[in-house]
Structure 1
């Protein structure tokens, strides 16, 4: 479904953007297309940010797009990755530009219209790496009580003897003085941990780590999806890892990545992302063309496979990320399809699918939501037109969408999603979106942090995003 927007509200002020290109392999790095995320031409003609929409979203405005200060000692600037918020602070991950090692940048959002950068951490710990994803939670275990940040660490080059991949753990109880607590390492044969999630189960803290191609590159010695006990952050301990061969539809000779699926196609299978519901009981694991795999992780040492999403034979799976809605009864699945002309498949960039998962053993497709970008395949293969990450607040779904910025979608009726708004920064290359009750955050690969607020007076009067 495509949706037209009402006339746009042009936002005042221009954004500072970086013109320096950077390189990173596509997520499906073993596939038949090798493109570089973030390095692209053909931006839209938008010269200032725009926001347009209906419902309450026409009252949102871009409150802040702070210029990203150069924080590295060598005077070079990094590109930017995902964004997270916790207790009034924004945590901005960094990408690969200028050799990575940008760490996590922390912003005080007490005045969301005037973010103040107060710290950088995880930037000098491991040479030759980049720190894309950060999750921050308040945890309480026998070994640690406070706010814990887990940070993905990925190698730029697996042949670099000084680098290693996995995830870092930091005490950010005082976000302005982060303290390193520990590191969890995955096999040197893979790039490291790409995305991850942190949750509490009683007095135990666990991390669910996505380590793409660990199975493939280690010949099964380590697996792509791992559950790690971080109750003592100085001594993380692996509890369990998922072997796809345990599923009936996966042949025993599967050796990571290549899956001869029942539809006769050879499909990629690797873990791209993980997330957990609010109870800490159910895990949703994005396994690319195996779909979103659902586990009961009540016992994290012996999780139970429940079910997974499936695709039509002409669809590239590319299950990239997930979010939940309607009290955990609805699953949002975004698909990062960046090659819309792959032989044997529909000609389309990645779009969003919505499932009823009241019965988690049998996800049922309710709808598919397509933006106005996904059918634009005339400009060649690019990440610019595919959807990326989903976030949900109430009955509104927010999608980060590279060239499309941030889309807002009304999912009051999940079987009939409707676009109600869009925010597009200058030279949009939006990687992440995060919804807090006090603001909406977006992260642009080239230009960094964006803060959106309601236009109802001073920022202190903001009461929530509807």
Structure 2
């Protein structure tokens, strides 16, 4: 049974404002998931009276206190491992066997999670580069660099993107010795690598690199940049990894290319200049892409040559198409809208339930004649304070036959477990969150994924959390065992 959270019903803290200092911090020292675009809410400084209102709400119990943990009765907080030698922003997660791999803007960390109640750090690798989106396949670990660096080494320093010699792209590590990862290869990619997606193909792994926001002043990130970089990695010779294709996903004329033109044609919508994230479903040979102003489906039957087979837009409520997740039956796709780039307070009454939310699309048709049909929105019902950056972010399916259930991060909105079996009427069934960070700081949980009976969450500021979901609607998932999980390479949970 859910504990009643007064924020579901409160109205006085639903203010659509964010401190200028919060946004600046998120985009520099602790960057958010995406660079804010035209869908951003105009930033305002929090007035002393507004800050006092938040403090009064904490004092009255209307919202949790600073750093206070609250959760529904059906979630247990199993453990927390604070950040240690890598003080940067925690980002994405990947899993293999009894290990969890945690991305961090300063590098990555490897946890032994054989006992989820007591995760053990077995390796920490210092290798700065923003995002450090992470995936694992066999003995290889892949790391995205989406900031302009002086070179491709782990000792690089920041360097202006206008410098031709600057580097950003993919890094590859050998983790055959799990306690001593070795850097083995790098591949520079146009506009860097914000995120990446692994597509296995026999003895090779293809890497789809998503990046965006070109500029004529950037030598290695020229407009229109309306596609993705495809890297081929021979698993027995990863040092030979190289770009094999740059498929144009949004063909069009001129510097803008194709895709959503964004503002001012579609006010408040990001112009499509690449993709933010792609989720592959290798068992069906399809992928779903979240590409700034567009949502797409891809045919990946030829991994080196992905082709767009469906394209949708939502120019009313979606500002920035951020990520995608298939349900277990592959007849639905959940797209997330990262309104405000992850650095603003959007989980409040003023913004409402449809912006900064998930869009649920039913997938109809057969073969390559697939269509995406909008069915409904989902947003957490727990309104957050104006100091809390909150918006839909990374999550995964909780594998239950006959049900569509997802766990998902919402930055300072915490972790939400929600049921979208009825696409038009999704509902939250469990949650975990902390109260506001001190002094209006930005943070919260970046990624939360189900893996072999537990929920693993990477909090940008607080570290690595392990949660246990105890609910009759989801307990069936405890019988599912995966050998590994990269959320952007979605497994087939149940054999068809």
For the criterion TM > 0.5, the same-fold answer is yes
**Compared CA separation, residues 253 and 24, structure 1 to 2 (3 A):** same
Q: 5 Å matches for 1:153-302?
A: 153-155=145-147, 157=158, 159=160, 163-187=166-190, 190=191, 192-214=192-214, 217=218, 218-220=221-223, 224-231=227-234, 232-246=237-251, 251-255=252-256, 259-260=260-261, 264-265=265-266, 267-269=270-272, 270-279=274-283, 281-290=285-294, 292-302=295-305
Give the unaligned 5+ runs of structure 1: 9-18, 72-76, 96-101, 139-146, 457-461
Q: Deviations over 1:59-113 (max 9, x none)?
A: x311110232235xxxxx2221122222111111113xxxxxx201111111111
Q: 5 Å matches for 1:9-88?
A: 22-24=29-31, 27-29=34-36, 31=38, 45-46=64-65, 47-52=67-72, 58=74, 60-70=75-85, 77-88=87-98
Give the unaligned 5+ runs of structure 2: 6-21, 44-50, 149-157, 438-442, 472-476, 482-496
**Compared CA separation, residues 131 and 118, structure 1 to 2 (3 A):** farther
- Secondary structure at 1:129's aligned position in 2? coil
173-182 or 415-424, which moves further after superposition?
Answer: 173-182
**Compared CA separation, residues 282 and 26, structure 1 to 2 (3 A):** closer
CA shift, 1:30, in A, is 5.3
Query: Is structure 2 residue 412 aligned with structure 1 residue 403?
Result: yes
Distance in 2, matches of 1:263 and 1:364, equals 26
Distance in 2, matches of 1:346 and 1:453, equals 31
**Compared CA separation, residues 451 and 116, structure 1 to 2 (3 A):** same
2:101 corresponds to which of 91, 98, 106: 91
- Secondary structure at 1:387's aligned position in 2? coil
- Secondary structure at 1:234's aligned position in 2? helix
Q: Deviations over 1:260-283 (max 9, x none)?
A: 369942641131111200427212
Q: Could you tell me which residue of structure 1 aligns to residue 120 of structure 2?
A: 116
Greater length-normalized contact order (CA 8 Å, ≥ 6 residues apart): 2
* TM-score under structure 2 length normalisation: 0.71
- Secondary structure at 1:255's aligned position in 2? coil
The size of the alignment, in residue pairs, is 401
Q: Deviations over 1:154-178 (max 9, x none)?
A: 2155517675211111122332221
Indicate conservation of the 8 Å contact 1:229/1:236, yes or no: yes
CA shift, 1:334, in A, is 0.8
**Compared CA separation, residues 335 and 51, structure 1 to 2 (3 A):** same
